[in-house]
Amino acid sequence: MLGKIYFGAINDDGAKQVAREYAADILKLLGVQGLSGSKIYFVSNRGGEKQIWVMDYDGSSQRAFTKYPDLCTMPSLSPDGSKIAFTRFSPNGPQITIHATESGRRLPFLNPAASFNSNLSFSPDGSKVAFASKVSGYAQIHAAGADGSGLTRLSNSRAIEVEPKINPKTGADIVFVSGRGGVQQIYRMSIDGADVSRLTSGEGQASNPAWHPNGRYVAFSWTRGLEPGNWNIFLIDVSTGGIAQLTSGRGRNENPSWAPDGRHLVFASDRNGRSMQIFTMLADGSEVRQLTNSGRNEMPVWGK
pLDDT in tens, 177-230: 999 999 999 999 999 999 999 999 999 999 999 999 999 999 999 999 999 989
Q: pLDDT (tens digit, 9 = 90+) per residue, 102-158?
A: 999 999 999 999 999 999 999 999 999 999 999 988 999 999 999 999 999 999 999
Domain boundaries, the chain: 1-32, 39-52+199-304, 70-173+184-197
Whether 54 contacts 300, CB under 8 Å: no
What pLDDT sits at residue 29? 56
Cβ atoms of residues 209 and 176 within 8 Å:
yes
Q: Which CATH architecture has domain 70-173+184-197?
A: 6 Propeller (2.120)
Q: How far apart are CA 129 and CA 119, in angstroms?
A: 10
Asked if residue 248 lies in contact with residue 227, where contact means CB atoms within 8 angstroms, the answer is yes
In this predicted structure, what is the pLDDT of residue 5?
Answer: 86
Give the confidence band of 64 by pLDDT, cuts at 50, 70, 90: very high
Record the pTM.
0.90
> What pLDDT band is residue 6 in, cutting at 50, 70 and 90?
confident
Q: Answer whether residue 30 shows pLDDT above 60.
A: no
Does CATH number 2.120.10.30 belong to domain 39-52+199-304? yes
pLDDT band for 24, please (50, 70, 90 cuts).
low
pLDDT at 23: 61
CA distance 87 to 167: 21
The pLDDT score that the predictor gives to residue 14 is: 74
Query: Do 39-52+199-304 and 70-173+184-197 share a fold?
Result: yes
Secondary structure (DSSP) of 155-213: ---SS-EEEEEE-TTTSSEEEEEE-TTSS-EEEEEETTS-S-EE-S-SSS-EEEEEE-T
